[in-house]
Structure formats: structure tokens, C-alpha cells
């Protein structure tokens, strides 16, 4: 049995169906779509206590609690969301969805395209962070939420929170942007491209039609995840965790050597390839690469944020080299220059980009204190 | 025509044949072996001006000059080796070899195993940095060189220079160790393992028997090289060079987007997969992972270096995150504690680990000044 003392407990995903055609940023129109989502905590009478959780590359709607009594693990951000936790379900009505193009129940590559009667597969249209904000706003309409008290996300989720303040300035009071960047660097794009190539060059990818062939690009997805994982961790945290500990063999005779870190990455990669859809992985990494809210503002981030009305909390972690504190500072500087209300902190943390998922005391103190203030305004 | 003013000009590789059995650290005995090498500059009458160049992961014996008049490119370290250059062929007799297990002419996976009549392929035994030092010393014997004025290398080559001072203390006067580390970190090993998995999971690898099947694991090698390349460059240098410049497509509409950095990495990866042997790549990355000169000294680097008699120059580069300046400092601190003669410098350079191959003025000034002193002792 699960100890639910500080958990939202058993949750049941729900589905919202949108029957009107949706034209995406790429120009393609979907005849309609579905979004799967969960909520934690009650919406208050004035409907002013809703917060939206935006997920990152490999996340989904299941952010907190458990689906079944015998679940081994809770949702991906359970450490942060729940009664008495920084995102307090006693005070907020928390909405968490699987984004359009995902593989956990929302319309995506695994969905049957009603116009062809076949799965979208590799033909699912390109989706962008702007498309996600647009469809998240439609979900808010569906739920009767006019305005979010806060939109919150880490990594790619933080980019969605930023885009909300630009595209839906009247519908977001606070944006909490964690371990994000105003756009990807060439190095970020390069790592994503290697992950994509690993998937594309796996013969079991079958040009994206693997499900039709009852196959799965396990090895490509494994490589993509291994690579992602190394870039999420810091050099120091990997050293502390694995050092040069051997799993097997003997370095002195250079025989059959396997290091613990290799074994760990294999496990991570293999587990991921069983649960995640390759076409979705490609689509998510492209959304990351293409993200650039300044495109319609001549590349000027300050000008871009002039649309925004929200108040901001921007958080970063000292050892995060994927989206380093410098990248968060770019966001903060632009927000200040745009005369917006910004709080920010760089948290000492050993765990690299992954820190945003971990219950680091100062991180949770800062986040919790900020959200206390947001709750007090309700 | 090539401008040979500051070049060693046209060079012809030579081959040394060793007919005695060689027992490797892994316990396997080779019946004999060949090493291909080049030399630049004359050996003096007292045979005291020889320097040895040790190559890194993807290097070979062709370090300087040209093989043919119409060669598009010189050897891999031509910027540094030649008349009037830091490693001055007017003053030194420079020896550069392809290491055992290589794919450029020395005995390696592509060689026919005389005991089976078939190529070694994936059955080529594991080789280590110690094996390389041992066979390099045999090459020195073959050339009539009792003692090297200096053993010089960058990256994996620097590790060979370190191992020389421990295993052959009387045969090396100066060790020049550039952009190296006393052993790999868990993160370093993790990146190597991902590169290996990319090769091993390519169906055209055919369990290492690709040549027998007239195939080549082009995609696996391409991925390995793309990944290596990203870790050789710094985030800043990639930003300066590629930014988010597009090769094709339009981010605003999210259509057919390809970034310059992706195109560059494809080119690098594809070129590499045509020239390099996959079994050699696996073997070289394992030699890197296994490198740990402290193994016989209870992990104590200070104790390890008590064997050494050489003088040291240890160089690192500010933006190198593969083998960072901190890793060089570990070497320097241990050398000092071992009461050895050490000079060291950390060079401001934008180009990450790749800096060691580039003609950066302060780097070449420091290296040239040190070698001036070595030459003056001849």
C-alpha cells in the first residue's frame, strides 16, 4: 500500500475532446483533437486558483499521485505537487495535461487520422510551443478557467510558461520558468540532432511506420535516451554516483570491463524505449529546437516581452549545463528591461538539469514561498 | 601545388616489423606486429634530439607534411610540427606512429591474423595505453633511439606521455601532456559508451565482421563521430560558428527546418565513417576508459609518479569540458607532491577540447618556449 499522507492519492486521467478544426503553426489543419489531463485539488468558487503544469520532453499528464494502489512510482513531479508541497493541492486546482503530439493519450502520432483511417505515425504534423499554448488555452476554456493563477514548467515546460505570457497575456497571472532558456544554443540543437539521427537510422524505425510493421526502434530510442540522460546530469553528480566503479571485469587485465555508469545508462535507455513513442520523441525535440519567441519581434527578446503582463519567477541550477544559469539570466535581463515584475534565484544543486525534478530544500523553499504569495492573492 | 615554406614537405610512411611474440596487458599474445610511422627532421649524431608524438582517438602516424603534391590537407598536427614551428623539425627528429590496433597501416583489426588466415576484426585483443607505451619503446629500439628528448601528446596522446614517465622512466626526458586527464570521469565513460552502442547497434556492424560481408557501419560511426565532435567543441565556439543559422526551412512556419550545425555534424560524421575502422574506434575508446596509471599503486597518483624521472609540461584550455583544466590540475598537483619538475599553463581558448589542435598564439608560445629549452640541452 502507498503512503498517501503527503500525496494527492489515486487520480484518474480525463479526456477533453475538441471537434473544431485546429490549424497549427506549420499550416496543417487537424480535423479535431483530444487532450488527456489530470487535476489535483479543487477549483474555488471564483475560479481563480487554477495553475497549469507544462511538461518537458518526455513527460506527460501524470504529474502527481498514483493511478493504482499497486503503482511502484507516483507521477513525475509528485515531489513538488500535493498537499503541503510547494505546488499545494490544498490551495490550488492543479491542471496537468499530455501535450498535443504526445504518446500518453492525447492526439499524436499513435492516433488514427480520421481522414485516412490510418495512424498518423511519421505524418503527424510539426507542433510548436505556440501550438501547445493555444491548445492548453482551449483546455482551459473547456474547464471553465478564464485565467491561470500560475503557469509552471521546467525545461521545455518553462518555455511553454514563457510563451503563455506572450500569446495569452490576459490569461496568466504568474509564470514560473524553471531551468529553461529563451531559445536553444547550437550545442543544444546538436545533441537533439544526434538523438534524432540515432532513431532515424535504426532500421526498426521503418521510416516511422514501425507500429504498422509490429516493430519498435528500441535501439535508437535507447541511444537517444542515454544521450539525453548524460546531458541532464552534471559531471560531478555522475562522478559522485558512479565514479569509475566496475559492474564487471578487471581493468588491471583489461578484460570484460563494464563500468556501473554504462550499466545504468543501458537500463535507463531500455526502460525508456519500452514506454515512449519514437515519432513523439522526434516531434518534441523539434519543438525544442524551433522554440524562439522573438521570431515575430526581429529577434528582440525585450520587445517580445512587451506583450506580457504576468509576474515572473525564474529559477536555475548551478550545475545545469544543458540550460545553464546564464540562459536564465538572459530571460531575467530581458524581463527587467521590459519593465516586468521578476523574481529569480540560482539554486546551488549538484544534479545538473535533472535538479528541477528533485526536492532540493532551497529550491522548494523559494518556489513554495513564491506560491504562498500567489495563494494569498486568491 | 602546396606551399611548403613552413612545412616538412612530402613525407613517406615507413613500416617497422617485430617478429617476436608480444604479450599484451589483457594476457593475449600476438605472434608479431607491424607499426607504421613517419619521421620529420634529422636524428643528430648523439641521438639525443628525438621526440615522440602520440596520437589521440582518431589520429594516426601522419602528423605533419603531405603524402602527395596534390593532397588537399597536411597531417593532423601540421600547424605545430615543422621548420620553425613549436615542435621544430630543424632541431628535433620527430617520430610519429600509428598505434597498435589502429586502422592506418599498423597491426590492428583490419590485419590478417597469421594463425587463422582471417582478419582479426572484432577479435583483435584489447590494447591499453601501457601496451602502446611498450610497443612505442620497441619502435624506439628499432630506430636506435635510447631516450626521447620529449614524448608529446594531446588528449589520449597526453595519457601515453604520462604512462611513458611511469613505465619507461629512463627513456623520457620531458613529457608534454596536453588537454589530458589522469583517468576518465563517469561522464567521459558515458559518452564513450553511447558512441560504442551507436556502432554496435548498427546492423551493418555485423558483430564486427562487416568487412567479410562487404559492409560498413556507416551510420553507427557517423553517430559516434557526431557525438565526439560536440564534446570536443565548446558551447561558445559552437554558438559563434553556427548560432541558430538555418541551412534550410523556415522556423516561423516550422517547416523543413535544418540548422547549419546539423548539416556540419552530418558532414563530419559521414566523412569520418568513410575513413575510420569501427573495430578500431571501439578499441580506442576502451583504451581511454581503462586508462588509470594508479591501478598498481592503490589508486594513489602521487605514489604512481614516484616512478617518474621526467620533467613535465602540462597544458589545458579554459573551455575544454571533455578534459577540463581541473583534470590537468590533478596531474600537476600529484607531480608536485611527487617532487617532480613541472611547468603548467591553462590557455584562454574558445574552442574546447579541439583547442589542442589549433595554432592558438599563447599556446604555441608556451609550447615553443619550453621546447626551445629542451633543444638547447641537446
Q: What residues of A are in contact with residue B187 (Cβ under 8 Å)? A: 230, 233, 235, 238-239
Q: What is the DSSP string of B323-367?
A: S-HHHHHHHHHHHHHTT--EEEEEE--SSGGGGGGS--HHHHHHH
Q: Alpha-carbon distance A94 to A150, whole Å?
A: 10
Instruction: Assess contact for B102 and B109: CB atoms under 8 A.
Output: no
Asked whether the beta carbons of residue A254 and residue B227 sit closer than 8 angstroms, the reply is: no
> Which positions 301-360 of B are in contact with A (Cβ < 8 Å)?
321
pLDDT tens digits, B159-195:
999 999 999 999 999 999 999 999 999 999 999 999 9
Asked whether the beta carbons of residue A186 and residue B241 sit closer than 8 angstroms, the reply is: yes
Length of chain A: 378
pLDDT tens digits, B206-228:
999 999 999 999 999 999 999 99
A190 touches chain B (CB under 8 A): yes
A276 touches chain B (CB under 8 A): no
- Angstroms from B223 CA to nearest CA on chain A: 7
pLDDT of res. A171: 98
Q: Is B358 left (phi over 0), alpha (psi -120 to 50) or beta?
A: beta
Q: What is the mean pLDDT of residues A287-310?
A: 97
pLDDT tens digits, A98-129:
999 999 999 999 999 999 999 999 999 999 99
Catalytic entry in A88, A234, A353, A354: A353
Q: What is the mean pLDDT of residues A373-378?
A: 94
pLDDT of res. A1: 45
Active-site annotation holds for A300: no
Q: Alpha-carbon distance B3 to A92, whole Å?
A: 73
Of A135, A178, A164, A104, the C-alpha closest to A30 is A135
pLDDT of res. B162: 98
Q: Is the pLDDT of residue A255 over 90?
A: no
Nearest to B295 among A24, A238, A252 (CB): A252
pLDDT of res. B4: 63
Nearest to B254 among A26, A251, A265 (CB): A26
Q: What is the mean pLDDT of residues B61-86?
A: 96
A246 touches chain B (CB under 8 A): no
Instruction: Assess contact for B351 and B233: CB atoms under 8 A.
Output: yes
Residue B28, classified by CB atoms within 10 Å of its CB into exposed (0-12), middle (13-18) or buried (19+), is middle
- The residue assigned the cell 550545442 is A187
Asked whether the beta carbons of residue B189 and residue A261 sit closer than 8 angstroms, the reply is: yes
A215 touches chain B (CB under 8 A): no
Nearest to B259 among A189, A238, A296 (CB): A189
Q: What is the largest CA-CA distance in chain B?
A: 71
- Angstroms from B20 CA to nearest CA on chain A: 21
Catalytic entry in B167, B273, B353, B354: B353
Instruction: Assess contact for A343 and A373: CB atoms under 8 A.
Output: no
Q: Is A99 left (phi over 0), alpha (psi -120 to 50) or beta?
A: beta
Instruction: Assess contact for A332 and A342: CB atoms under 8 A.
Output: yes
Active-site annotation holds for B353: yes
Q: What residues of B are in contact with residue A193 (Cβ under 8 Å)? A: 226, 259, 261-262, 265
Nearest to A230 among B194, B222, B286 (CB): B194
Instruction: Assess contact for A133 and A157: CB atoms under 8 A.
Output: no
Average pLDDT of chain B is: 96
Q: Helix crossing, B235-242 with A186-200: angle to 10°?
A: 90
B27 touches chain A (CB under 8 A): yes
Asked whether the beta carbons of residue A254 and residue B230 sit closer than 8 angstroms, the reply is: no
Show the cell assigned to A336. 527587467
B249 touches chain A (CB under 8 A): no
Of A77, A52, A57, the C-alpha closest to A136 is A52
Q: Alpha-carbon distance A244 to B13, whole Å?
A: 38
Counted across chains A and B, CB pairs separated by less than 8 A come out at 159
Q: What residues of B are in contact with residue A222 (Cβ under 8 Å)? A: 197, 201
pLDDT of res. B256: 87
Q: Residue B141 CB: number of other CB atoms within 10 A? A: 12
pLDDT of res. B6: 86
Q: What is the sign of the dihedral through the CA atoms of A259, A260, A264 and A265?
A: negative
Q: Alpha-carbon distance A130 to A137, whole Å?
A: 11
For A258, the enclosing helix (H) or strand (E) is: strand A255-259
**pTM confidence score:** 0.96
Show the cell assigned to A130. 505556440
pLDDT tens digits, A335-362:
999 999 999 999 999 999 999 999 999 9
Pairing of strands B148-154, B172-178: parallel
- Angstroms from A375 CA to nearest CA on chain B: 37
pLDDT of res. A378: 87
What contacts A72, CB < 8 A, 6 or more positions away?
none
pLDDT tens digits, A53-70:
999 999 999 999 999 999
> Which positions 282-311 of A are in contact with B (Cβ < 8 Å)?
286, 289-290, 292, 295-296
A248 touches chain B (CB under 8 A): no
Q: What residues of B are in contact with residue A266 (Cβ under 8 Å)? A: 197
A194 touches chain B (CB under 8 A): yes
Q: What residues of B are in contact with residue A296 (Cβ under 8 Å)? A: 252
Most B CBs within 10 Å: which of A254, A270, A323, A350, as the mutation test of the B interface? A254
Q: What is the mean pLDDT of residues A78-86?
A: 97
Q: Alpha-carbon distance B374 to B377, whole Å?
A: 5
pLDDT tier for residue A2 given thresholds of 50, 70 and 90: low
pLDDT of res. B378: 87
Q: What residues of B are in contact with residue A230 (Cβ under 8 Å)? A: 187, 190-191, 194
Nearest to A198 among B223, B244, B265 (CB): B223
Q: Is the pLDDT of residue B322 over 90?
A: yes
B203 touches chain A (CB under 8 A): yes
B376 touches chain A (CB under 8 A): no
pLDDT tens digits, A128-160:
999 999 999 999 999 999 999 999 999 999 999
Catalytic entry in B7, B58, B96, B155: B155
Asked whether the beta carbons of residue B193 and residue A259 sit closer than 8 angstroms, the reply is: yes
Most B CBs within 10 Å: which of A190, A256, A283, A324, as the mutation test of the B interface? A190
Show the cell assigned to A114. 480520421
Of B3, B16, B15, B14, the C-alpha closest to B65 is B3
> Residue A286, Cα to own-chain centre: how many angstroms?
14
What contacts B72, CB < 8 A, 6 or more positions away?
none
CA distances from B360 to B48, B313, B328, B364, B368 (A): 28, 17, 18, 6, 12
Show the cell assigned to B271. 566523412
Using DSSP's 3-state secondary structure scheme, residue B101 falls into coil
Average pLDDT of chain A is: 96
Q: Alpha-carbon distance B208 to B174, whole Å?
A: 39
Pairing of strands A14-18, A33-40: antiparallel
Asked whether the beta carbons of residue B187 and residue A238 sit closer than 8 angstroms, the reply is: yes
Q: Is the pLDDT of residue B327 over 60?
A: yes
Active-site annotation holds for B155: yes
pLDDT tier for residue B1 given thresholds of 50, 70 and 90: very low
3-state secondary structure A209-232: CCCCCCCCCHHHHHHHHHHHHHHH
Q: What is the mean pLDDT of residues A23-42?
A: 97
Q: Alpha-carbon distance A302 to A313, whole Å?
A: 17
Asked whether the beta carbons of residue A238 and residue B25 sit closer than 8 angstroms, the reply is: no
Amino acid at each position: 500500500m502507498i503512503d498517501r499522507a503527503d500525496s494527492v492519492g489515486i487520480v484518474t486521467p480525463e479526456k477533453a475532446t475538441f471537434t473544431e478544426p485546429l490549424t497549427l503553426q506549420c499550416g496543417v489543419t487537424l480535423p479535431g483533437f483530444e487532450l488527456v489531463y489530470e487535476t489535483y485539488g479543487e477549483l474555488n468558487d471564483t475560479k481563480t486558483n487554477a495553475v497549469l503544469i507544462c511538461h518537458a520532453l518526455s513527460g506527460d499528464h501524470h504529474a502527481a499521485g498514483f493511478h493504482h494502489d499497486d503503482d511502484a512510482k507516483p507521477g513525475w513531479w509528485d515531489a513538488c505537487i500535493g498537499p503541503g508541497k510547494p505546488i499545494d493541492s490544498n490551495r490550488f486546482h492543479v491542471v496537468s495535461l499530455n501535450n498535443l503530439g504526445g504518446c500518453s493519450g492525447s492526439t499524436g502520432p499513435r492516433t488514427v487520422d480520421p481522414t485516412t483511417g490510418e495512424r498518423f505515425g511519421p505524418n503527424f504534423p510539426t507542433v510548436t510551443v505556440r501550438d501547445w499554448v493555444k491548445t492548453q488555452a482551449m483546455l482551459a476554456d473547456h474547464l471553465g478557467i478564464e485565467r491561470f493563477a500560475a503557469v509552471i514548467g521546467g525545461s521545455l515546460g518553462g518555455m511553454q510558461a514563457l510563451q503563455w505570457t506572450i500569446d495569452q497575456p490576459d490569461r496568466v497571472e504568474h509564470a514560473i520558468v524553471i531551468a529553461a532558456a529563451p531559445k536553444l544554443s547550437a550545442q543544444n540543437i546538436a545533441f537533439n540532432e544526434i538523438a534524432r539521427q540515432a532513431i532515424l537510422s535504426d532500421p526498426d524505425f521503418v521510416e516511422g511506420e514501425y507500429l504498422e510493421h509490429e516493430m519498435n526502434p528500441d535501439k535508437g530510442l535507447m541511444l537517444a535516451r542515454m544521450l539525453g540522460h548524460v546531458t541532464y546530469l552534471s559531471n560531478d553528480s555522475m562522478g559522485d554516483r558512479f565514479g569509475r566503479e566496475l559492474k564487471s571485469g578487471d581493468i588491471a587485465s583489461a578484460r570484460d570491463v563494464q563500468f556501473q555508469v554504462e550499466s545504468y545508462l543501458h537500463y535507463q535507455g531500455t526502460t525508456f524505449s519500452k514506454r515512449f513513442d519514437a515519432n513523439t520523441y522526434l516531434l518534441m525535440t523539434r519543438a525544442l529546437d524551433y522554440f524562439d519567441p522573438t521570431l515575430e519581434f526581429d529577434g528582440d527578446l525585450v520587445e517580445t516581452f512587451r506583450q506580457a503582463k504576468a509576474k515572473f519567477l525564474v529559477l536555475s541550477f548551478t550545475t545545469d549545463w544543458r540550460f545553464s544559469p546564464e540562459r536564465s539570466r538572459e530571460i531575467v535581463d530581458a524581463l527587467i528591461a521590459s519593465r516586468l515584475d521578476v523574481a529569480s534565484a540560482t539554486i546551488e544543486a549538484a544534479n545538473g538539469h535533472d535538479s528541477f525534478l528533485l526536492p532540493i530544500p532551497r529550491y522548494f523553499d523559494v518556489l513554495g514561498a513564491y506560491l504562498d504569495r500567489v495563494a494569498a492573492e486568491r
